[in-house]
Amino acid sequence: MEVIRGIHNLQPRHRGCIVTIGNFDGVHLGHQAILRQVKQKSLELGAPSMLICFEPQPKEFFDAFSAPARLTRFREKVVLLAEQGIDLVLCLKFDEKTRSMSAPAFIDLLVKDLQVRAVFAGDDARFGNDRSGDFNLLLAAGKKYDFAVTNLYTLTVDQARVSSTRIRDCLAAGDFAMAEQLLGRPYSITGKVVYGRQLGRTLDAPTANIQLHRYRAPIDGVYAVEVEGLNGVLQGVANVGVRPTLNEATVKPILEVHIFDFGRTIYGKTVRVIFRAKLREEKKFDGLEALKRAISADMVAAKAYFVDQRP
């Protein structure tokens, strides 16, 4: 799969594509159903399939602190899209220029720059400045410029719409089983292990620290987790949050993972942390000794969870 950053990087080989548009945060079952239709059409016509998305996501551009927490980082999303067989991702920088793009100008992008052969969009689709473009405008453009426009209907599970918002609600409630059902895979975070303050060693729980590169995470608290990427599936306990006991002047959350019975140095390694069960909320303790006792109890609780899961 090829990632194209910006209209200026479009090449003749990218034209004549089958397009869908959106954030596709999480690449959940609803997204996957859309992508299957896009891919099927691309195979029928012998044309490349393309997702058009924006970075940062529009709501993040307007207010990064109050925007919905991402289910996947951009790099994670790219991997998931590739697994779905999408050929091209056109990533447009969302800035003041993009924000002010008119709906007709966006249609011009589809028609002149991409020469689209088909567009897949929901009937609630909005595009252009002030969300002035809608599905009916796409339909009219399709008739005028001879490209197909297909209405995407919502996928439901348990009679409720599959959406990134619903998955965030499941994660916030600690319902990882339902989140997995809606995502089509267990919820996880993938990232590179970085150097931290190494305080975990003094608390008898050395941790692998993973920067989340975001102001908000869809989860926070302490979890029983599995870790992939270090030869096999390992078990451990993880904290996602801002470490209030340490009084650190930060608003960005960090993921810290203590892997059971593991002593290797893994700085720079990329790992996938799979969240299995929430153990407790993150809280501020009265000093490091109290934090140390809590971490010890968390380790016991996580190990007990995995014992209970054995067949």
pLDDT tens per residue across span 167-214: 999 999 999 999 999 999 999 999 999 987 666 555 667 889 998 877
Cα–Cα distances in angstroms (integers) from residue 251 to residues 127, 173, 240, in the given order? 32, 22, 12
The more confident residue out of 77 and 264 is: 77
Q: Which residue has the higher pLDDT, 311 or 89?
A: 89
Residue 93 confidence (pLDDT): 95
Q: What is the mean pLDDT of the chain?
A: 91
**Which among 200, 195, 198, 207 is positioned nearest to 292, based on CA atoms?**
200
Residue whose structure tokens are 């790099």: 75
Distance (Å, whole) CA 200 – CA 26? 31
Residue 268 pLDDT more than 70? Answer: yes
187 secondary structure, DSSP code: -
Of 16, 215, 219, 229, nearest to 112 (Cα)? 16
CA distances in angstroms from 24 to 74, 76, 80, listed in the order given: 10, 11, 10
pLDDT digits (tens, 9 = 90+) for 117-132: 999 998 778 888 888 8
pLDDT surpassing 70 at residue 226 = yes
C-alpha dist (Å) from residue 190 to 60, 94, 220, 270, 295: 21, 24, 16, 7, 23
At residue 284, the 3 state secondary structure works out as: coil
Q: How far apart are the first and last CA of the chain?
A: 39
pLDDT exceeds 80 at position 103: yes
| pLDDT > 70 in the chain, percent | 95
* pLDDT value, residue 285: 83
- Per-residue pLDDT reduced to its tens digit, 299-308: 999 999 999 9
Q: What is the pLDDT of residue 216?
A: 82
**Distances, alpha carbon 145 to alpha carbons 20, 109, 161, in Å:** 17, 12, 33
* Per-residue confidence (pLDDT) for residue 6, from 0 to 100: 94
Q: Is the pLDDT of residue 136 over 80?
A: yes
* Bridge partners of residue 228, in order along the sequence: 272
Torsion of CA 59, 69, 193, 82, to 10 degrees: -70
Task: Check the CA dihedral 154-83-240-297 and report its sign.
Answer: positive
pLDDT score of 68: 92
Average pLDDT, stretch 280-290?
86
